[in-house]
Amino acid sequence: MNDPTDPVHPAPLPAAALCMPVSAAEFDFATTADLPAETGWLGQDRAVDAIRMAASIRHGDFNAFVLGMPGTGRHRIVDAILKEAAATRARPNDWVYVNNFETPHKPTAIELPPGIGTRLRKAMEALVDDLANAIPALFESEDYQSRRNTIEQGFAEAHEEAMSALFERARARNVAILRTPMGFTVTGLHDGEVLTPDKYEALSEAEQEKVDTAVDEIQDALGEILKAAPAREKDHRRQVEELNYEMARAGVEDAIADVTATLPEIDALRAYLETVRADLIENAQIFLIRDDQMQGGPFPGATSKHYTRPQFQRYAVNVIVGDGGADEGGGAPVIRESLPTLGNLIGRIEYASEMGALVTNFTMIRPGALHRANGGFIVLDALHVLSEPFAWDALKRCLRTGEISIYSPGERLSLVSTVSLDPDPIPLRTRVILVGERMHYYLLSALDPDFAHLFKLEADLDDHLPDDAGARQGFARMIGTIARRAGIRPLDPGAVAAILREATRLAGDAERLTLNTDTLSDILREADHWADGNGHDAITPCDIETALLERERRASRIRELSHESITRETVLIDTDGAAIGQINALSVLQVGGYAFGRPSRLTARTRMGGGKLVDIERETELGGAIHSKGVLILQGYLAATYATDMPMSLWASLVFEQSYGGVDGDSASAAELLALVSSLAEAPIDQSFAITGSINQFGAIQAIGGVNEKIECFFDICAARGLTGRQGVLIPAANTKHLALRRRVIEAVESDRFRIIPVAHVDEAIALLMGSRAGARDADGAYPDGSINARVEARLRGFADARRAFGRTMNEQGGKS
């Protein structure tokens, strides 16, 4: 049936063309242990340069998004580059929150040189401890007691002297001052006795007047003395306060001077210490509050940690960034936040419950990852950030404003209106690196107008590396490095060659090597396991092959069930003989991370009609959009290739037999066209073949995906039934470079038991499958007699004639009746 000398028939591919031609002889090392370690990242120059730029550029809005396929080493590359860059940078400044004595709900942020934050905290704790001992001693000192007594004496004397003088005057004026329930009563005396009304009336007018005048005088004077008491009391208090202030100031200033001497001259720090000084002097009495528990403990009061007591919390220092001590190694921070919730990112304000109410202060401000990364780098997983409520919004806000403001989700939604803390925002000087998949990047670019402004650098990791000069040697070094890093056996040259072939399989291209280092590492580690069992010192090709087979075996339960349904003839697939309007199409399924092929019987039926091509898959809504597009394209080919001078009078139906799960993609459109042509030309199709390829309106067969899986699935069916030597798969010529077939197929091709035939045009496929040439129009526009195309066109003309005749008959019958 097939004429191998016919130039229309393309030749089958040799075995050498079915996978990457690589052998162990290309490598001149004993094992990969002899190779130097890979210091860079093979094939990732574009992305690496972008990340390096993000690490070094000084402009704040050049944050980076690292995108690529998972497994290509995005995180590892980012970590290595950032760590290298961070080591060359100076350690960033410390940030602390301290009490704002005037408005306590607006804590003050102070930037300090590295290490000074902790030093300030400890200095303030020591200050409080010192004053807790010094101030009580000051107020118990002889000096203070003496001066206080002087004030008290002076106050008491003033009043008593006035009262004494008054009482003396009263006695001299014959007036008595009596103490009564209603207050002081001033009354006249007569012969040492209080004047009764009778005795008063018995006095002469002059004497009465004298008594009255004396009583009034003494009464007024008494009133004056008593009214002066509050003013005197106020002055007494003022003098006591001034004394206390003076004593406190002496103690505080000495202590503050000690603190100031240990800290650098920074304006903000000096200003803060000045407010501390003023507050300490004003509130010195808090140091006089005795805590009996502290006094009664095993340690004497003088060595107790006074700074932990609640009344001294106002002098604490909350080190937000930098609480690691001056001994920490230099360099900028590289922070990776694995749970980027709103609070973990921008920090949070904590609350404590006291007597049923929630209270907080500046000591309860907790830093977020952005704080810890300030002056350095922060690496975030894009999906995690986008998944956490308000996290993405907060990150953008911080980058836009250049500040880290702390708020809660409740405040963000304006659900909380109670007064909380409003701390000074801390300037953000951090480079943000987002790591994610390409889909995340493209969605953000399309839908978030802020994204492009804030993340100007894209570090797009390549999925694969071209197999050009030097690539294989570089790849071998990379493999050796992976093995070294994983702590496994080195590979011998044959294993390296095997891994290279597998790398092309993973890339889906014989001329490309995958850069999915995670998957390569998994394979190597599994191969190491098999090498261990086999007692090998180095990983051999056999270990690699075993690892690959075992990986496939683990994942192939569904594939085997599909295969079994065919070999048990539940699903009907012919692998020999011929049939009109029936062809073996090939599709690929992805279940989890495993892809496998599956052959399908595609059939076409044709008859006269009104030009309708029924795609049963589309009609039943089992066909996807791309599948439908393929069917429409082949309709275009039909309409433009055959009987173009008359209406298309064809009715045809196409279906994937026994397919109930839906189909998409156009990789079967060539098979559909061939089935139609077969049905129209009534030319049987050789069932020894399967075909895959999409068709355009000019009949050219175009590349498709999953070519390796599709070939292997048909091969496995044929092999299960016994290879006849006739069987094979027609593939698009453009897919030849994507071939990375398994050993079993290559061996069958080598022994001429199976064929892989590349085709570029539907006419080549017609000749191979139907045993006759398709035929080309001659100068008169006619197809050669007996050619498939001539037969198709003749059939279509026949449909058109029959339809015209039918129409005339109907008209005649209609006219007669």
Partner 1 sequence: MSPETRRARVILGATCYLDAEGAIRVAVEIARQIGADLHGVLVADEAIMAAASTPRARCIGFGGAQVIEVTAARMEAAFRADARRFEQQLQRAAQAASLATAFRQMQGRLATALDQGAGAGDVLIYGFSRDPGSTDCVALVVGAAPPAPRLAALAAQLSQKTGKPLLIFAPPGIGGPDVITCDSPEALLARLERHRPAAVIGAAPRADLPPVARLLDAARCPLILPATSPEGDS
Give the one residue of 146, 180, 353, 813 binding partner 1; rule: CB under 8 A: 180
Phi-psi group of 590: left, alpha or beta (phi > 0 → left; psi -120 to 50 → alpha; rest → beta): beta
| Token output for 456 | 């100007």
Closest distance of CB 307 from partner 1, Å: 34
Among 6, 84, 152, 241, binds partner 1 (CB under 8 A): 152
Q: Site mask, partner 1, residues 182-201, x = CB under 8 A?
A: xxxxxx-----xxxxx--x-
Compute how many residues bind partner 1; rule: CB under 8 A.
Answer: 39
Which of 322, 413, 419 lies closest to 361 in space, CA to CA?
Answer: 419
Which of 101, 155, 351, 651 touches partner 1 by CB under 8 A? 155
Would you count residue 215 as binding partner 1 (CB under 8 A)?
A: yes
> Residue 394: which of 411, 379, 377, 418 has the closest Cα?
411
**Catalytic annotation, residues:** 667, 710
Q: How far is the CB of 209 from partner 1 (least distance, A)?
A: 11
- How far is Cα 47 from Cα 50, in angstroms, rounded to an integer? 5
Enumerate helices (H) and strands (E) in the chain, giving the number of each: 27, 30
466 touches partner 1 by CB under 8 A: no
Tell me how far, at minimum, the Cβ of 232 lies from partner 1, in Å: 11
3-state secondary structure of 326: coil
- Residue 89 CB: number of other CB atoms within 10 A? 16
Q: How far is the CB of 197 from partner 1 (least distance, A)?
A: 5
Phi/psi at 319 (5° precision): -80, 110
Judged by beta carbon, residue 231 or residue 446, the one nearer partner 1 is 231
* Nearer Cβ to partner 1 (183/814): 183
With binding defined as CB under 8 A, does residue 229 bind partner 1?
yes
Burial 469-503, CB ≥16 within 10 A → b, else e = eebbebbbbbbbbbbeeeebbbbbbbbbbbbbbbb
Nearer to partner 1, 219 or 736 (CB): 219
Give the x-and-dash track for 102-141 against partner 1 (CB under 8 A). ----------------------------------------
416/408 Cα distance (integer angstroms): 9
Strands 728-732 and 755-759: parallel
CA–CA dist 393, 415 (Å, integer): 17
Closest CA to 350 of 339, 361, 342: 361
Q: Closest Cα to residue 799, out of 530, 609, 625? A: 609
Q: How far is the CB of 217 from partner 1 (least distance, A)?
A: 13
Closer residue to partner 1 (CB): 57 or 221: 221
Confirm if 467 and 511 have CB atoms less than 8 A apart: yes
Task: Examine residue 148 and tell whether it contacts partner 1 (CB under 8 A).
Answer: no
Q: How far is the CB of 238 from partner 1 (least distance, A)?
A: 16
Nearer to partner 1, 159 or 456 (CB): 159
Q: Which of 46, 76, 105, 227 binds partner 1 (CB under 8 A)?
A: 227
CB of 214 to partner 1, least distance (A): 12
Instruction: Rank residues 186 and 711 by Cβ distance to partner 1 and give the closer one.
Output: 186
Does residue 606 contact residue 633 with C-beta atoms inside 8 Å?
A: no
91 versus 236: smaller Cβ distance to partner 1: 236
Query: Judged by CB under 8 A, does residue 175 bind partner 1?
Result: no
In degrees and rounded to multiples of 5, residue 410 shows phi and psi of -65, -40
Please, which residues have CB within 8 angstroms of residue 32's CB and are 6 or more apart in sequence?
476, 477, 479, 480, 483, 484, 490, 491, 496
Among 11, 33, 87, 178, binds partner 1 (CB under 8 A): 178
Pick from 80, 134, 163, 608 the residue near partner 1 by CB under 8 A.
163
Segment contacting partner 1 by CB under 8 A, of 122-130, 159-167, 242-250, 650-658: 159-167
Would you say 193 or 752 has its CB closer to partner 1? 193
Binders of partner 1 in range 313-372 (CB under 8 A): none
Judged by CB under 8 A, the stretch of 177-185, 330-338, 606-614, 686-694 that binds partner 1 is 177-185
**Shortest distance, position 306 Cβ to partner 1, whole Å:** 29
Nearer to partner 1, 228 or 278 (CB): 228
Beta-carbon contacts of 240 under 8 Å, excluding residues fewer than 6 positions away, are: 148, 151
At residue 342, what are phi and psi to the nearest 5 degrees? -55, -45
Token duo for residue 87: 């080591």
Q: Could you give the dihedral angle defined by the CA atoms of residues 509, 512, 515 and 516, in that order, rounded to the nearest 10 degrees?
A: 10
Binding residue for partner 1, selected from 88, 141, 164, 644, defined by CB under 8 A: 164
* CB proximity list for 591: less than 8 A, separation 6 or greater: 555, 558, 559
Smallest gap from residue 237 Cβ to partner 1 (A): 12
Q: Using CB under 8 A as the criterion, which residues of the chain lie in contact with partner 1 when the complex forms?
A: 152-153, 155-156, 159-160, 163-164, 167, 171, 176-187, 193-197, 200, 212, 215, 219, 222-229
